Structure 1
Amino acid sequence: MEIQQLQEHLQQLRFTSGLSVEDLKKLAAISRFQDYPRNATIFTEGTEHRDLYIILSGRVEICMTISARGCLPVLTLEEGDLVGWSSILKQGEMTATVVAVEETRLIAIDADALAVVCEQDHDIGYQIMRRVALALSQRLVASRLQVLDMYAVTDEAHTLKQGDASE
C-alpha cells in the first residue's frame, strides 16, 4: 500500500514528473516516507548519509558551518525540491546541515539502491542525473545571487563613499 502511495506522490513532484509509470514504480520500491517535526535535523554537515530526499511538504533550511560564526543558513527549500544530493554522487560526507523549519514530510530514496537502478537502466539513470544536475545548477545560481547581494554596494553606502571623495 505504501509503495502505491509513494508512486502517486512521486508522479506529482517536479523532480520526478514526466518519468514513466515503470520508472516511478522502481523509485517507489526503494523509497519510504519520513516525517520530521519543526526544528528537527535531517542530516548534519560532515556526516555520512545514505538517502536522497524529495520534499513532499514543509520547508527545510540548508546551513553551512563557518568558523567562529557557527551554522549559518544559506538556502531554504520547499515542496518538490531535492535534498541530500551528495549521497547519490557517493561524494562521501554531507556538504551541509539540513533542518526542518516547519513540520516536513520527505520521500527518502535509498541512494545505494538508486545507483543500482540507474546502472541497470541507463534511461532512468540519465533522467535522474539530469534532474540532479538541474537542481545543483539552480542552487549554484541561488548561491551566486546571495554572494552578489552580500557584497553589493547599497545606494546609501555608495552615496557616503562618493561624499567622502568630494570633500
Structure 2
Amino acid sequence: MTRATKLLTALPPPQRARLMTLAREVSFPEDTRIFEAGGRADRFWVIRSGAVSLDQRVTALQRVTVASLGAGDLLGWSWLFPPYEWDFGAEAFSPVRAYEFEAQAVLALCEEDPRLGLTLVRIVSEILAHRLETTRNKLLEQYAMHRRGVV
C-alpha cells in the first residue's frame, strides 16, 4: 500500500500559498460531530493536529469507522463532486485543529487559476484512490474475521 498523500505538501509552493489565502483556522472539541452523511458539503478541512474518524451508519444505532485521519490529512472531498453531499460522517476522535476552506471560494480560485484547479483535482483523486484501497482492505479483513466467527 502506498503512503497517503497530504494535500498541502503535495501542492507546489506557489499554488499552496494561493490556496492558503483562503484558509481559516478552526478547532473541534473531542467527540464533536463535524458532519453527517447526506448533509450539504460546502467546505473541507486539512487537519493540523488531532484525529478524526470517518464513519458510515449501518443501522439506526450503529456506525462503523471506515478511516482514521490525522495531521496533514484532507477531511472532506464531497464538495468537489455533485450532488455536493457528504458520503460519510466525521467525528473528532480527539481535540482537532484544522484549516477550513469554503468550497465556493476554492472553486472560484480554481477557475481563476486552472493550473491550480487541475493540480488540486489530481491530488484529491490520488487521496480518494488511496482511501478506497484502504477501505476495501478493511472491509475484506472484516469479512474474513466474520467468516471465521471472530466478530
**Structure 2 length-normalised TM:** 0.86
- Where 2:9 maps in the other structure, the secondary structure is coil
Moved more, 98-107 or 22-31: 22-31
Which of 52, 66, 75 is residue 44 of structure 2 equivalent to? 52
Could you tell me how far apart the structure 2 residues matched to 1:114 and 1:90 are?
A: 15
Q: Which has the higher contact order (CA 8 A, sep 6+)?
A: 2
Contact in 2 for aligned 1:88/1:114 (Cα 8 Å): no
2:28 maps to 36
Could you tell me how far apart the structure 2 residues matched to 1:42 and 1:72 are?
A: 16
Establish whether residue 96 from structure 1 lines up as the match of residue 92 from structure 2. no
2:55 maps to 63
Contact in 1 for aligned 2:56/2:66 (Cα 8 Å): yes
Q: Give the number of equivalent residue pairs.
A: 145
Which of 108, 123, 143 is residue 115 of structure 2 equivalent to? 123
Counterpart code for 2:34: I
Q: Which runs of 5+ in 1 are unaligned?
A: 1-12, 159-167
Could you tell me how far apart the structure 2 residues matched to 1:124 and 1:135 are?
A: 16
1:15 maps to 7
- Where 1:117 maps in the other structure, the secondary structure is helix
Counterpart code for 2:85: E
- Where 1:63 maps in the other structure, the secondary structure is strand
Which of 101, 104, 119 is residue 109 of structure 1 equivalent to? 101
Identity of aligned residues (%): 26
Structure with more helix by fraction? 1
Counterpart code for 1:97: G
**Structure 1 length-normalised TM:** 0.78
1:10 maps to none
* CA-based RMSD: 2.2
Establish whether residue 83 from structure 1 lines up as the match of residue 75 from structure 2. yes
Could you tell me how far apart the structure 2 residues matched to 1:152 and 1:53 are?
A: 34
Q: Greater Rg, structure 1 or structure 2?
A: 1
Q: Which runs of 5+ in 2 are unaligned?
A: none
**Displacement of 1:20 after TM fit?**
4.0
Could you tell me how far apart the structure 1 residues matched to 2:106 and 2:77 are?
A: 12
